[in-house]
Amino acid sequence: MDTLQVMQARLCVRAFLDKPVGDELIREILAAARWAPSGTNTQPWQVAVLRGDTKASLTQRLLARREQHIDPNPDYAYYPDTWVDPYRRRRIACGKALYTALGIARDDKDRQKIAWENNYRFFGAPVGLIFLIDKQLNQGSWMDLGMFIQNVMLAAKALGLDTCPQASLAEYPDEVRELLGLSSEVAVVCGMALGYADMSQAVNQFRQAREPVETFTRWYD
């Protein structure tokens, strides 16, 4: 696939095959992603690659916090406190499309709980990535990190793998820092599931809608 095809083919995969991803393939993805731009070449991105026991341990820690009804305490606010249109409308449509693909009814709280907890299981992917940044850095560096994360997803797709970026994996950052031995000065930004998509699963067979160019573009001559 060429670059434009890769960009349009990328999707958030929520079911993965039990197929390992080799170290060299992960390194190739990260080596390509590191060419993302950053202000004055600060390259603020940090990545933790989780597999095996470490990934399983993080999953158990996050599930335990959820089961104990401990409120999330992320290092930053991902979503607004109050939702307004068109963002509210798009968010609702996203949730409906996802649960429809999963075959989960609106009142089926048990299956909704399982579906949410699958976030903490990296959707069964063999590799979990955690993206980090120094807390002393400001919004510009977070933008740089976002471009790096996008590069990771595009490089993975180009190499035959799929991904799902996950803000949910940053809900309990203290658990991440403790498990990985990180300083309190490191912010946990998000996670990502990485592996080979199981395209036999219905949840991977639908696409979220995108607004036409005219919706978000202004032209000035």
Q: Are 163 and 153 in contact (CB under 8 A)?
A: yes
Please report, in angstroms and rounded to a whole number, the separation of the first and last CA atoms in the chain.
Answer: 34
Q: Are 202 and 102 in contact (CB under 8 A)?
A: yes
pLDDT at residue 115 in the model? 85
Cis omega (within 30 of 0) for bond into 86: yes
Pairwise CA distance, residues 20 & 51, whole Å: 10
Please say if the pLDDT value at position 131 is more than 90.
yes
Q: Are 23 and 163 in contact (CB under 8 A)?
A: no
- Token pair recorded at residue 132: 């980090």
Please say if the pLDDT value at position 106 is more than 90.
no
Domain boundaries, the chain: 3-75+82-208
What pTM did the predictor assign? 0.96
The residue type at 172: Y
The phi and psi torsions of 48 (rounded to 5 degrees) equal -110, 130
Pairwise CA distance, residues 187 & 202, whole Å: 34
Classify domain 3-75+82-208 by CATH architecture: 3-Layer(aba) Sandwich (3.40)
pLDDT at residue 85 in the model? 97
How confident is the model over 57-76, as pLDDT tens digits? 999 999 999 999 999 999 99
How confident is the model over 5-31, as pLDDT tens digits? 999 999 999 999 999 999 999 999 999
- Token pair recorded at residue 98: 């996802």
